[in-house]
Structure 1
Amino acid sequence: MKYWIALILIIGPLTSFSQERIKNVQIDPTVHARTFWMSTSYREDFRDDYALGASLAIGFKAKIYSKWTLQAAYRGFANVLSSDIWDLEPYSGRENRYETGLFNFLEPGQRTFGSLETLNLSYQTTSWKLSIGRMPINTAWINPADGRLAPTEMEGASVSFSPSKSWKISGWYINRFRVRGTNKFLNVGESIGVYGVGRDETGAPSSYFGNTESDFVSIVQVDYQKEKNHYTLSHTLADNLFSTFWGEWNYKFSKNTGGLNWLLGAQLGFQHGIGDGGNQEVSFRYKNPKDQNWVMSVSAGAEIGKWKNTFGFTQLGGKGRWLSPREWGKDAWYTFIPRERNEGVGQLTALTLLSEYQLGKGLGIYGHIGFHWLPELSDAPNNKYAFPSYRQINLGLKYKPDSMSKTDFHLLIMNKEALGSPDLTPSQRYNKVEMIHVNLMVNYRIN
């Protein structure tokens, strides 16, 4: 906390130059305050939990000689109020999964902590941008996953080149991550397993946390925008772990009558293990190097008036598990619904409907319903987290009032239930199904 205060004292005077040019330098303050209420309730048996967390990031953006930009921001976190989220749930004997994610997984029970989350230098021209340092990232398989008090951030370098209005070529080299729900930038291998590790292929608890050897992640991405078509091709390489190829096409076309817009999309992915999967010792490895998985996801929908409705379908198959660390972001496929992932499975069939309605300027509601069919609970090689097939419903409201242009509100209510009538043990139910989960987020941003 003392470092947070010291940085504020340093940055504070700089912000007084906001919007002022002094010798070819323009310095603007950056502020992001976020308050997050989270609660999880169960019908019976299990303990209900809640937490109120807050974070405040204060920093600056300095533009130097028009082409150079220096950014820095320090974020402080606080557990304002919570139930006994760090204690094991008595009936299941398991750790809390949701509310603890607001705070520091690396030092459980901390009431306050902080992190220098942004510190980067960028050079930008009309066609090039090069950045080095600590910064945000948003790609198909490494992204902010904005479901906590602060997003996941990377440390490394990024570059992009736009030879024309239609083409963009991008690349990232990552050597450390600040995983959301932590306060430190961890080496790539160290960042894997901060969240639950599930079970290995034999059904025993996984032991890869702290034993995964991976030095970097590299991403190459090509985007092409032509009229109403947007194509993306990318390759994500996690050193000594896996290689993921990804392709995506999105198309939007309009009818001249009735204000109707049709939406189409298709995704194809292929992933295989590389190296020794994180460790030469089989019991410590993260991924089986022999894994080979493919995935296909499609979407179709329409915008008409204030409504937007989209159907999604995903089919995953192959040999072994499709793995992408939960610490690095959310799923890329169209059937992703916030507050759950389908990572760690060898087969998946998912069907979703996403609906949005704009009630007025700055005010919208939405609903998501999804059916996700996973491998059998007993199939440890293909179901890492022993997760039952489930149905999920999300109801949400987003509001950004005109009178408070720097503030926005987001309410999310989620319910998950097991499909069919499976005979589930307490550990197969707790944190997974038979719950009502509530999130209320308030953001205040300057720049």
Structure 2
Amino acid sequence: MKNSILIFLLLTTIGMSAQVHDEIPEPGSLKEIFTNSEVEGHIRNFFMTTVNEDELKDYYTNALGGAIAFKTQEFKGFEVGVKGIFTYKAFSADLNEPDITTGNISKWEHELYDINDLDNFNDLDRLEELYLKYNFKSGFATYGKLAIEETPLVNESDGRMKPFAFNGLWLQINRKKHSLNLSWLNRVSPRSTVEWYDFNEAIGLVNNGFQPNGEVADYRGKTESKGIGLFQYETQLKDTDLRANHWYLHNIHHTSMVEFDVHKNNWLLGLQYALQFPHNYQKELAYEERFIQPQENGQVLSGKLSYNPEHWQLGIAFTRAFNSGRFLFPKELGRDHFYTSIPRSRLEGLGDAKIFTLMGNYDFNVKGLKLSIEFTEVLGPSIGEYEFNKYNIDEYYQINGRLHYALGGFFEGLHFDLLYIYKENLNNSDPQNIFNASNFHQISFVTNYLF
């Protein structure tokens, strides 16, 4: 906690010298570079409670924290940025008190703090950004601890107190309706953690799951992965958006993905296709130490149709994961963004599965008030069918409801989010399989003040 206060005070002190100007001339001295700097940040309060089925134990917690980022004025195209973030527990149930039936403890509530130290609720600071950026006419290049552009697999996924954070090199080039991103990331601080890791340490930090033959997977520290290379190309045609991605996860696998979104009047038709190939290094490892088996080629086809008249957005999506192998991507690097992906329901780890999602959004006439409802059903391998089921989950359905309100005027920057989730297995209700995984109600109330 002491370190988080020092970071916050340091950045705030630097930021107090920042001035706001409509047009700032090129700085003439080192002092002006800092005097004309930019400061932004947020304060966040996150209350979460999970109500498990019947006599299984329930949990709740309230986390409070914030972040502040400082960026110098650009000089000859160069700028420097730094960002610190901290969290502490305001009040809470005992998250380490085990459930009597299963012997397990809280899962979701711990994700607001540090999943690597379940007794740490106060010393939760992190230096999230520290980078050098060079801006040129058609883009920029950034090196260090940096904020990345969102991709369908590697992303910040800022749905807890701390998002995924990355270290490496990011290059973006923009030309008219074309955008190209190239990067190499070699260190990561996964969501809900405070430490920085190289990729060999990070991959497998969260959950190693099972191998296709049912053995417990044990690949953390065995991959010898040095990082991930990203390629993303985007363009906008008359009525079509196109995005092509390729991720090379060193020593593990290649993943390619293409996405088309066609807009016409108030309609949107989208299509995504993803394909994976294992790296040859995986053959050199023992069976249980492999992240992906040599014969696995995960393939996913996802489609979406939505109608978006004024104030409304109504959509249906379908995803098919084929039986050529499980679709695998480290949970420590982000969350998959297929058309059917919603909070608490992702495709990663599954093969030979079908997912249906219905979604509806309504933008009230009241400024800043929005309501969204999502329903998803995941059909595929059941518990015990490990060949296409890395995390040994059951088929299930899930309902999400979200109410968002953004204030204006004097309170501009203040946002409220109320999220309700209900998830239920379709076949198996054994306590060991559902505790903190399914058959639960969950409510989150998040207050954000952005400045």
For normalisation by structure 1, the TM-score amounts to 0.93
Indicate the residue corresponding to 1:154 in structure 2.
Answer: 166
d(CA) in 2 for partners of 1:363, 1:433:
30
Indicate the residue corresponding to 1:7 in structure 2.
Answer: 7
d(CA) in 2 for partners of 1:279, 1:363:
54
Give the deviation of 1:104 after TM superposition: 0.8
Equivalent of 1:96 in 97, 106, 112: 106
Indicate the residue corresponding to 1:399 in structure 2.
Answer: 405
Distance 1:378 1:250, change over 3 A: same
d(CA) in 1 for partners of 2:201, 2:352:
27
Q: What's the secondary structure of 1:244's corresponding residue?
A: strand
Distance 1:19 1:219, change over 3 A: same
- Identity level (%): 26
Indicate the residue corresponding to 1:225 in structure 2.
Answer: 236
Does residue 382 of structure 1 match 2:388? yes
Indicate the residue corresponding to 1:140 in structure 2.
Answer: 152
Letter in 1 for 2:92: S
Aligned residues of 1:37 and 1:53 also touching (Cα < 8 A): yes
Equivalent residues in 2 for 1:7-86, closer than 5 Å: 7-19=7-19, 23=28, 25=33, 26-65=36-75, 67-86=77-96
Equivalent residues in 2 for 1:189-208, closer than 5 Å: 189-208=200-219
Give the deviation of 1:183 after TM superposition: 0.5
Q: Give runs of ≥4 in structure 1 deviating > 6 Å.
A: none
Indicate the residue corresponding to 1:287 in structure 2.
Answer: 292
Deviations 1:299-326 (A, max 9, x none): 0011112111011010011333211112
For normalisation by structure 2, the TM-score amounts to 0.93
Does residue 418 of structure 1 match 2:430? no
Higher percent of residues as strand: 1
Q: What's the secondary structure of 2:306's corresponding residue?
A: strand
Q: What's the secondary structure of 2:384's corresponding residue?
A: coil
Aligned residues of 1:315 and 1:347 also touching (Cα < 8 A): yes
Q: What's the secondary structure of 1:4's corresponding residue?
A: helix
Give the deviation of 1:434 after TM superposition: 1.2
Q: Superposition RMSD on alpha carbons, in Å?
A: 1.8
Letter in 2 for 1:5: I
d(CA) in 2 for partners of 1:396, 1:234:
30
Give the deviation of 1:427 after TM superposition: 1.5
Question: Higher mean Cα deviation, 188-197 or 41-50?
Answer: 188-197
Deviations 1:163-184 (A, max 9, x none): x311111111000111111001
Deviations 1:308-367 (A, max 9, x none): 101101001133321111222121210011122221112110111110001121110010
Distance 1:269 1:304, change over 3 A: same
d(CA) in 1 for partners of 2:284, 2:419:
39
Does residue 307 of structure 1 match 2:329? no
Give the deviation of 1:278 after TM superposition: 9.2
Aligned residues of 1:243 and 1:274 also touching (Cα < 8 A): yes
d(CA) in 1 for partners of 2:401, 2:64:
23
Question: Higher mean Cα deviation, 324-333 or 362-371?
Answer: 324-333
d(CA) in 1 for partners of 2:284, 2:434:
31
d(CA) in 2 for partners of 1:303, 1:340:
24
| Structure 1: gaps spanning 5 or more residues | 255-260
